[in-house]
Amino acid sequence: QGVIQPLVVRKVTYDKYEIIAGERRWRAAKIAGLDEVPAIVREIDDQVALAIGLIENIQRESLTPLEEARALQKLIEDFKMTHEEISHVVGRSRSAVSNLIRLLQLNESVKDLLGSGKIEMGHARALLSLKEDKQFDVANQVIQRSLSVRQTEELVKRVLNPKPKKSTEVDPHITSLMQSLSKTLDSKTEIKQNNNKGKIIIHYSSSDELDNILKHIN
């Protein structure tokens, strides 16, 4: 059927044209043996040509998330486009554009893991909540434990909000009481306390020891 959507080109010399949009279609036409392809000739300056080329690259499915993020960032820096404007021209939601650009804030080592496919974009997005010095350590855990995106999100939450360690300090009064009981009963005694509740544990190793403890209690 040939090329359905025409290329966009601009004239650079009297007999030469530069493809602004549709290079992949042109290459596919060459492979298919087509001698002619439809094209629209436009007068476009260098800046606009660069913007159109970037936008077409972003729309390609073969770009990695980081390649796409860098291209989007270039539209912001070079053409002063907002996330909203970019979302319209590339056919993505504003949140998708913002999430892609945020990938550029990742630790460089984590970017390498994302670029090599060792972690996915969902993993990378979860890691963005961490400080850079923590991102790589957690990313390695994700890889070693083959964590899903959901599991990675839970891991990041635990890193950000660690459970407070239980105090191992024993009330001196409780220590003194345990020593006094152990001496009186002639047996090892423990007192386990939790707020205002607790239990007393008396150890014995024979029935004779138990009888002796019971005598002291009685």
CA dist., res. 71 & res. 194, Å (int) = 58
pLDDT the model gives residue 157: 95
The top-level CATH class assigned to 7-102 is mainly alpha
The pLDDT, as a whole number, for residue 80 is 86
Question: According to CATH, what is the number of the domain 106-160?
Answer: 1.10.10.2830
**Tokens coding 80:** 């002063």
Rounded to whole angstroms, how far apart are CA atoms 203 and 194?
A: 20
Q: Strands 16-21 and 39-41, how do they pair?
A: unpaired
The confidence score (pLDDT) of residue 141 equals 95
Residues of the chain with CATH 1.10.10.2830: 7-102, 106-160
Active site (catalytic) residues = 23
Closest CA to 86 of 75, 95, 99, 77: 75
* Selection from 10, 102, 94 nearest residue 52 by Cα: 10
Model confidence pLDDT, tens digit, residues 76-100 = 988 888 999 888 878 889 999 999 9
CA–CA distance, 31 with 182 (Å, rounded to integer)? 91
Say if CB 159 and CB 134 are below 8 A apart: yes
pTM of the model: 0.60
Given a cut of 80, whether residue 164 has pLDDT beyond it is no
Cβ neighbour number for residue 33 with a 10 Å cutoff = 6
Q: Are 156 and 144 in contact (CB under 8 A)?
A: no
